[in-house]
Structures are given as C-alpha cells and as structure tokens.
A and B are shown apart, each in its own frame.
Chain A
Amino acid sequence: MAKTIEQINQKIKKGEVVVVTAEEVISITRDVGIHEAVNKIDVVTTGTFSPMCGSGAFLNFGHPKPRIKFGGGKVYLNDVLAYAGIAAVDVFLGATSLPDDDPRNKTYPGEFNYGGGHVIHDLVSGKDIRLVASAYGTDCYPRKSLETLVNINDMNDAILFNIRNAYQNYDVAVNLSDKVRYTYMGILKPNLGNANYCSAGQLSPLLNDPYFEAIGVGTKIFLGGGTGLIAWHGTQHDPHTLRGTSGVPSRPAGTLAVIGDLKNMRPEWLVGTSMLGYGATLTVGVGVPIPILSEEILCHTLVTDADILTPVVDYSEVYPQRGESILGEVSYAELKTGHIRFGEKLIPTSSLSSYPKALEIAETLKLWIQKGIFTLTEPVAKLPGVWSNKVVEPLKERPIS
C-alpha cells in the first residue's frame, strides 16, 4: 500500500517509524521479500562523505561603525580570498579559494595546505577568523579598510550553500602516462599504477533514488552534521546519462544543490581538504532520507555495489583534453576488493570517499528519525529527470572579436 510523507511523519511522532540504512534494506528485503518490506519500511537513509569542490558559504558579518561596503573591494578570511561582489557586508567563501601568496603549483606539486574549505572548517569549529577588507568608500559607506577578528557565533548569518554536491556516480581515474599525475581524483601513479574512485556506492544518496522519484527540491537532509535542504538540482545535473538495467546511472549523472545553517553544523562533517598538486577543497557529509512511498522506490534502494557500474577514465590525457573514450567499466563491488583487473594487470584501488563515514551519516540520520528529532518534508518541485530537457553541454568557444 502506498504511503504518504504525512503518514510517515505521523509514525515518526508516535515513535512507530521503521527506518533502515541503504545497506540494511538490502538484506532485510532479501529475507522478508519485497511485498512485506514495502509495507514495513518507512524510510531508507543514505550517506556520503567526499571532497566536494562545489561547496561554499555565504556570511554576513554585521555593519561596523562607520560602515564599509565590501562590494568592489576585496575581503580576506585568514588570508583566503572571499567573493565580495554582493551586498555591503556579505561575502561568499568558496571551498577552493586560496590565499594570494599560496605558491600554488609553482613548487610542483603544490601542497595547498589552507584554502576556503579549511576556513569553513575553522569557522564551524568556532575559531576566531581574521577578516581583512579593503573598499573604495562611498558617501553612505565611507570606510576604506577593516581588520578584525570574526567568529561564526557573532555573525548574523552563516549559510552553507553548495551548488554541486553528492554526484550520482563518478569516474574511476587512472593514469596511462609514464609520470605521476596529481589530480582532483588523487595521486595517480604512472602506467596504470592505481585506480582511484569516489562514491559511497550502494549508500550514496542519488544512487538510491536514480530517477529522483522520492526526493526533490525542499527535501530535508543531513548536511555537514546539521540539517539542510535540497535547494535545487546541482550544476552539471545530467539525467540523460547511460543507465544500467536497474536504471542506475553508469556515468556521472545527477547532482544536488544543498543549503543549510552553518551555525548548526559540526566540524567533523565539514573537513578542509588538500589535494596534492591540485588544490584545496571541502569534504562534506550529506545524508538524504528516502521515503518508501511505493514498491518501485523501495526496489531502487536495493541497489548493491555489484549493480553499480562506473567508467574507468585516463586522467593523463583523455580527461584533461576532454576526450570521450573510456577504458572500460567496473562495478563498485570490484573496486572495493582493493583491485580491478585490466587485461592481465591487477590495478590497486583507492577510494577518496569515506565509506565508514558515509555509513555513520546514514546511521545518524536513522537515529534522528527514530528519536523524532528529524521529520520528513514534502518536495515542492521535482529534480529534472529523464522526462526533462535538461542537458549538460561542453563550452563552445567563440572568438570575441
């Protein structure tokens, strides 16, 4: 019998809700059968904990006396450049931003020990942050410079707004060249020395709702240790990629834009991250509850690592040159054995996404729902699905003059 989100919320209030993780649902359904499972289970929780460069925070510091207008000037937080081109005392701090004097890749491979992601981690840890701003001064905002310590607890607003998180599936990166490559997919040893992947697989939010039937804009989620909302589809969201027999995308596909109050989040779920030779970023914890509203939705949460295929891509030449070719497909079950087979060669695998942390997120969300401190929300709009005309195209460069 189909349930509604309202009915599930009633069960949460009465303490009768049945919540399982995306890992547990597989064995439970195997034991009791789909018919009983769909009647019994109300919510399946998912989780992922990965570096997600499409992350950042909007901050409002309050107006100093006399006033200053950051817009058109420059703002640094612990020396990291924040975007000031908005209202007077608001900035956007992106996860990959760097201090002006970071040597970047001048000393190759650059270390990128401190960037925007690290500032967000320090902010959410409650540490004081150095704000240094310069401005041009106006009649209404006369001040031209500001240097002060700021703290998240004193800010009017600190809002995490990640424009692209929780990729539904992702490439496996390898290196066909004869020298080491330092990439956002980690350190790739020459001549297929290793294969790096980055997905929670069967626990990953969007792989458990491959057609975006159960979740949508407005769905309340676990975000950075607090709660947030799905704000929109993420950038590069592509519902039209190749799909396997169970409907699971076998290429990078959907993404989420997520928003939440940074003041309610926890530093252990927003971790500043440094990718050698690549840059700074933020590792983000995201967990999405999937309401079991139909048999079809339940069946999609039964996806296992063996069902999810992903392309193996050469990151020495094909990826940087935007080539199309892939070296083959592997499943997450194979990747998680620690090796993948490529012809005669066994290639050791590394993950960049933490499965133990993803599981902890799914378990935490489950506990919150069981305790009644987290109720589900009704989506207010669909994420673009296979029915939509949403496409992702590469940039077509055109001469300016």
Chain B
Amino acid sequence: MKKRVILHFPPNVTGQPVIYYLAKDFNLVFNIIKASVSPGQAGSLVLELSGEHENYQGAIRFLTEVGVTIESADRNIIRNETKCTHCGACVTFCSVDAFSLDQKTRRILFDQGKCVLCGFCVVACPPRAMELHS
C-alpha cells in the first residue's frame, strides 16, 4: 500500500528522530514530499509512505503516541482543463516549478509528480482552474 500523509509535529517532538523509527520498526519506505521542521518549533512534514498495511497501522499508532497529529494527504491538485486558459501566470508563482511552458504550442504543462500540494495555485490561478480534490 502507498499513502500520502501530513504529519504535524508539536514543538517538543520536532527534536526527536521520529521518522527513523518508521523505517526501522515498521519497515516503511518513506519519501519526503515537503518538510518544514525546526527543533523547538511546531513543524509539518508531507510524506509518502509505502509498505505492509499492518505496519502502516502500527506506525500511525506510534506517531499518535509520541504526539504527532496525522492528516491524510491523499488528495490531489487537479487542473480543470475546461477552465484553464493557458495564460501562463502559474509558471513563475509555483514554488516547485510544477508548471512549464511548451515552447512549441505555448500551452502550459502541469506535472502532478512535482506538485507538493501546497495549494497556493488554487487561489493564485487567475481563472481558478486549479482544484483541490480529496
């Protein structure tokens, strides 16, 4: 199984090597999509976790016990193709360059693989073509 989760760390947990145990004790493969964690401050982490279902359940219990709040990130930013006008405003405002310009057609390409679900484009796209689906 593969799942995307957002982990919210309270300030007293950000100093602990919590993610290490996901691999060591629960045999989960993790891919860090986005991280904002500094010791002593509340932080958050977007992770893609893959592994056995039972191990995943165990990991969630462990994370909850150490004080991490878990939110499902099994959501996607999807481009509404009928609303997109291919103006290109998104090309520079996306912080991870998920949008690019096809030089030949002048149309805008959206690479969902690069998207870190920050949601900024949902309010920044002028014709509001970017939609959050959960």
Interface residues in A316-367 (C-beta closer than 8 Å to B): 336-338, 348-357, 359
CA distance A49 to B88 in the complex (A): 12
Is A275's CB within 8 Å of the partner chain B?
Answer: yes
Q: Which residues of B contact A354 (CB under 8 A)?
A: 85-88
Nearest-neighbour CB distance to chain B for A332, whole angstroms, equals 12
Question: Which B-chain residue is minimally distant from A347 (CB atoms)?
Answer: B92
Tell me whether A276 and B124 are in contact in the complex, defined as CB-CB below 8 angstroms, given that A187-B93, A349-B92, A350-B93 are known contacts: yes
Q: Which residues of B contact A350 (CB under 8 A)?
A: 88-93
Establish whether residues A283 and B89, one from each chain, have CB atoms under 8 Å apart when the complex forms.
no
Question: Which B-chain residue is minimally distant from A358 (CB atoms)?
Answer: B106
Is B2's CB within 8 Å of the partner chain A?
Answer: no
Establish whether residues A357 and B85, one from each chain, have CB atoms under 8 Å apart when the complex forms.
yes
Nearest-neighbour CB distance to chain B for A55, whole angstroms, equals 14
Nearest-neighbour CB distance to chain B for A254, whole angstroms, equals 22
Nearest-neighbour CB distance to chain A for B72, whole angstroms, equals 25
Q: How many residues from A make CB contacts under 8 Å with B?
A: 33
Is B101's CB within 8 Å of the partner chain A?
Answer: yes
Is B35's CB within 8 Å of the partner chain A?
Answer: no
Q: Looking at chain B, what size class is its interface with the partner chain? A: 20 to 34
Q: Which residues of B contact A187 (CB under 8 A)?
A: 89, 92-93, 124
- Among the 9-residue stretches A157-165, A188-196, A208-216, the one with 4 or more Cβ atoms under 8 Å from chain B is A188-196
Is A272's CB within 8 Å of the partner chain B?
Answer: yes
Q: Which residues of A contact B93 (CB under 8 A)?
A: 186-187, 189, 194, 350
Is A271's CB within 8 Å of the partner chain B?
Answer: yes
Establish whether residues A271 and B101, one from each chain, have CB atoms under 8 Å apart when the complex forms.
no
- A-B pairs with beta carbons under 8 A, tally: 78
Establish whether residues A351 and B87, one from each chain, have CB atoms under 8 Å apart when the complex forms.
yes
Establish whether residues B126 and A283, one from each chain, have CB atoms under 8 Å apart when the complex forms.
yes
Establish whether residues B123 and A49, one from each chain, have CB atoms under 8 Å apart when the complex forms.
no
Is A378's CB within 8 Å of the partner chain B?
Answer: no
Establish whether residues B128 and A189, one from each chain, have CB atoms under 8 Å apart when the complex forms.
no
CA distance A349 to B90 in the complex (A): 10
Contact flags B88-112 to A (C-beta < 8 A → 1, else 0): 1111110000000101011100000
Nearest-neighbour CB distance to chain B for A120, whole angstroms, equals 13
Is A78's CB within 8 Å of the partner chain B?
Answer: no
Is A375's CB within 8 Å of the partner chain B?
Answer: no
CA distance A354 to B86 in the complex (A): 6
Known: A187-B124, A275-B126, A337-B103. 11 other contacts (CB 8 A): A186-B89, A193-B92, A196-B89, A196-B92, A271-B83, A273-B127, A274-B126, A351-B87, A354-B88, A357-B87, A359-B106
* B interface list, Cβ under 8 A from A: 82-83, 85-93, 101, 103, 105-107, 123-124, 126-128
Can you give 28 A-B contacts (C-beta < 8 A)?
A: A49-B87, A111-B123, A186-B126, A187-B89, A193-B92, A194-B92, A194-B93, A271-B83, A271-B85, A271-B127, A273-B126, A274-B123, A274-B127, A283-B85, A283-B126, A338-B103, A350-B88, A350-B92, A351-B89, A351-B91, A352-B126, A353-B87, A355-B88, A355-B106, A356-B86, A356-B106, A357-B86, A359-B106
Chain A to chain B: the 3 pairs with minimum beta-carbon distance, closest first: A194-B92, A351-B88, A355-B106
